[in-house]
């Protein structure tokens, strides 16, 4: 069984009886994050790539800016607690905790109403590249085909996936991408993120902290994330399918190279068919 999933026997109805089936369910655990010996937060997450989750959370919440800020990181033997020691003890105190709309009860200290510089337009992607990168992610997911109930996200360029991860919480996937990028010294600015999760305001806030210019999903954004994306000049794409998607904000980064995509923006009003196996 893959790490992050647990075996289970469930029942399926069959005629007038029940049929037992060997399957799997996604594992979820409470991960306690301590900074300089003080407990900061408990995150509900998949128990994989926990170090990256901790580092990424500290980065997207503004407590660290690079690995140079980190003196040491220790993971408990059971993997349920992460101790991060910073070179400076002069860490800003967390602002009020905001309960997010994350499916695992996410939290953020970030004030999304704070002023933020708009993201400049540099790199562009074609419509087909957006679709290709999303389905590249779907093709390498491991936990979702096994047990469902999990989200995937990837950091990418127009041509390649740079990093990818899975977690029971969609916002955790962006923290894990941030942490892995820190660990591997991979620049995140002006990249794109493809994800299976809803693009909520906290997802957009984390993407903005990474300097990402495009975030694309198989599902929808929220009204607030669209408003913030307009202000921050971040491109939001939703409802990715094999031959279409909906482009909500900052369209200048996306080039409809194929004439078949020229009318993508006009399809926003059309109802979208769900994935065959939605999460």
Q: Which residues is 43 bridged to in the sheet?
A: 31
For residues 224 and 131, what is the distance between their CA atoms, to the nearest angstrom?
A: 24
**Position 261 confidence tier, pLDDT thresholds 50, 70, 90:** low
**Position 112 confidence tier, pLDDT thresholds 50, 70, 90:** low
Q: What is the CATH number of domain 125-269?
A: 3.40.140.10
Tell me the Ramachandran region of residue 37: left when phi exceeds 0, alpha when psi lies from -120 to 50, beta otherwise.
left
Q: In the prediction, which pLDDT does 117 show?
A: 75
pLDDT at 20 over 50: yes
Q: In the prediction, which pLDDT does 58 show?
A: 96
The structure's pTM equals: 0.86
Burial class, 183, CB count within 10 angstroms (exposed 0-12 / middle 13-18 / buried 19+): middle
For residues 86 and 72, what is the distance between their CA atoms, to the nearest angstrom?
A: 7
Summarised one tens digit per residue, pLDDT across range 142-183 is: 999 999 999 999 999 999 999 999 999 999 999 999 999 999
Q: Which residue in 223, 192, 37, 43 sits closest to 124, CA to CA?
A: 192
3-class SS at 166?
strand
Q: Is 32 a catalytic residue?
A: no
Q: Which residue in 223, 239, 236, 226 sits closest to 272, CA to CA?
A: 239
For residues 38 and 24, what is the distance between their CA atoms, to the nearest angstrom?
A: 36
- Provide mean pLDDT across the span 89-93: 71
What H or E segment, with its residue span, contains residue 216? strand 214-217
Q: What is the CATH number of domain 29-108?
A: 3.10.20.10
Neighbours of 137 (CB within 10 A): 23
Neighbours of 141 (CB within 10 A): 17
Tell me the Ramachandran region of residue 212: left when phi exceeds 0, alpha when psi lies from -120 to 50, beta otherwise.
beta
CA 152 → CA 13, 137, 250, distances in Å? 30, 7, 24
pLDDT at 271 over 70: no
According to CATH, where is 3.40.140.10 located in the chain?
Answer: 125-269
Cα torsion at 51, 54, 60, 65 (round to 10°)? -70
According to CATH, where is 3.10.20.10 located in the chain?
Answer: 29-108
Q: In the prediction, which pLDDT does 279 show?
A: 45
Options 32, 81, 103, 156, the catalytic residue: 103
For residues 237 and 253, what is the distance between their CA atoms, to the nearest angstrom?
A: 11
Q: How many CA atoms lie within 13 A of 65 on its CB side?
A: 4
């Amino acid at each position: 069984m893959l790490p992050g999933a647990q075996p289970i026997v469930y029942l399926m109805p069959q005629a007038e009886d029940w049929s037992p089936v060997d399957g799997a369910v996604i594992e979820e655990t409470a991960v306690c994050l301590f900074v300089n010996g003080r407990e900061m937060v408990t995150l509900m997450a998949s128990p994989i790539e926990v170090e990256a989750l901790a580092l990424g959370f500290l980065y997207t919440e503004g407590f660290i800016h690079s690995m140079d800020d980190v003196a040491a990181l220790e993971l408990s033997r059971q993997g349920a607690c992460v101790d991060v020691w910073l070179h400076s003890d002069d860490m800003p105190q967390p602002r009020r905790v905001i309960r997010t709309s994350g499916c695992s009860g996410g939290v953020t200290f970030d004030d999304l109403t704070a002023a933020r510089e708009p993201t400049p337009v540099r790199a562009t992607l074609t419509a087909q590249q957006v679709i290709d990168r999303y389905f590249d992610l779907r093709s390498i997911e491991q936990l979702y085909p096994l047990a469902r109930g999990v989200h995937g996200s990837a950091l990418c360029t127009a041509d390649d996936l740079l990093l990818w991860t899975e977690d029971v919480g969609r916002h955790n996937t962006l923290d894990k991408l941030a942490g892995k990028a820190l660990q591997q010294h991979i620049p995140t600015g002006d990249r794109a993120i493809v994800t299976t999760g809803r693009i909520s305001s906290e997802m957009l806030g984390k993407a903005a902290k990474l300097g990402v210019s495009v975030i694309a999903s198989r599902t929808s954004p929220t009204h607030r994330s669209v408003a913030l994306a307009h202000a921050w000049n971040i491109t939001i794409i939703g409802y990715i399918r094999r031959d279409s998607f909906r482009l909500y904000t900052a369209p200048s980064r996306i080039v409809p190279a194929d004439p078949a995509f020229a009318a993508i923006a006009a399809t926003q009003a059309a109802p979208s068919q769900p994935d065959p196996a939605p999460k």
